[in-house]
Amino acid sequence: MKDRLDRLNEVLKVQSASYEQWRMFAFIIRKIKESNYDFYVDDGNIYIEKGDSFAKPCIVAHMDTVHPIAEDLSILNVSGKLTGFNKVTMTQTGIGGDDKVGIFIALECLNLFDNIKVAFFRDEEVGCVGSYVADMAFFDNCTFVLQCDRRGNRDFITTASGTELSSKVFQKTIKKTIKKFGYSFTSGMMTDVMALKENGLRVSCANISCGYYNPHSDNEYVVVKDVMNCLDMVMDLIYSYGDEIFPHEYVRTYPKYNYNTIKWESKWDKSPWKSEWDTKPLIENTYTPKNKMVSECPSCSMVTELIYDTYFDSHLCSECISIFAR
């Protein structure tokens, strides 16, 4: 459990934003290269395949969040609830559980199972841009596709914004399993598996609550117990039904928008991450307090040389430090 929590914290510390998900892209690439998994990158999306079995279950997640890149993102654990904190502004900040928790679950499954596929998409938060231009051939031999990109701890989404995601056979087969973990079938909103289904994905898919709350806000938080419960359920589904194909095709009732006209504006080509994701520091913007500075003391308001005090995690004048130390 501690190792899993450490890995969850490691993912949550990596900042990413739509059109600026270079750090998360680099983080994922480094992880899969360390394990020597087969992968390729297409239009900014990452595709990984592991194992010799022809038919494989698939997990997908998206690399971007809605939160702007901050000067500092520290992770606070308050009684099993993780939240983001900015030491520069001394305020709570978005932790990006949407969809860093999904990335964590996808990477865990990638390491746990011998036969599996995993895809990571760019720019979901601005209209599922990456998944609408996905390489659909990658999903030809998938048994089913799961995404963990939903707030809370009980929703198993089978219809997204009116788009049917899975067959009745799939739902009937897994119903007892998801109920065991406290989940039930319901409807949800737009996400990557919906885009894949509208692109012609021919197997059942779903979006799953994975333990983040207050998404898209500064007071977003992640409940560790709910994250691990979601991971355990996904693992159970793969162990139990991962080699069984669950066909399903979505019948469109309205014209399809041509998302292939969307371009990534060459931001990928201009980014230093494209050539430096093996070496560039992932958290180069983490705030490191200077030992001394001349400014107004936040305690006594005297303008003088301030010294960083580790106990109070703040710069204070020497007189205030001596008073507090008594």
Domain assignment of residue 286, yes or no: no
Instruction: Kindly state whether residues 125 and 22 are assigned to the same domain.
Output: yes
Q: Other CB atoms closer than 10 Å to residue 256's CB: what's the count? A: 10
d(CA 120, CA 21): 11
**Same domain membership, residue 141 and residue 181:** yes
- Whether 281 is in a domain gets the answer no
Together in a domain, 128 and 260: yes
Tens of pLDDT, residue by residue over 126-148, are 999 999 999 999 999 999 999 99
Same domain, 214 and 307: no
**pLDDT, tens digit (0-9, with 9 covering 90-100), for 27-80:** 999 999 999 999 999 999 999 999 999 999 999 999 999 999 998 999 999 999
Q: Clarify whether residues 57 and 138 are in a common domain.
A: yes
Examine residue 287 and state whether it is found in any structural domain, yes or no: no
Residue with tokens 């390489």: 135
Statement to judge: residues 248 and 301 lie in one domain: no
Residues 120 and 217 in one domain: yes
pLDDT < 70 stretches in the chain: 1, 253-277, 280, 283-293, 309-314, 323-326
179 and 296 inside one domain: no
User: Distance between CA atoms of 229 and 25, rounded to whole angstroms?
Assistant: 26
What's the number of domains the chain is made of?
2
- For residue 303, the model assigns a pLDDT of 79
On whether the CB atoms of residues 82 and 219 are closer than 8 A, the answer is no
Q: Are residues 208 and 173 in the same domain?
A: yes
For residue 306, what are the domain limits?
292-324
* Residue 152 per-residue DSSP state: S
Q: Within a domain: residue 298?
A: yes
| Alpha-carbon span 302 to 101, nearest angstrom | 44
Q: Assess if residue 71 is contained within a domain.
A: yes
Examine residue 150 and state whether it is found in any structural domain, yes or no.
yes
pLDDT on residue 42 = 94
**CA count, 13 A, side-chain hemisphere, 229:** 21
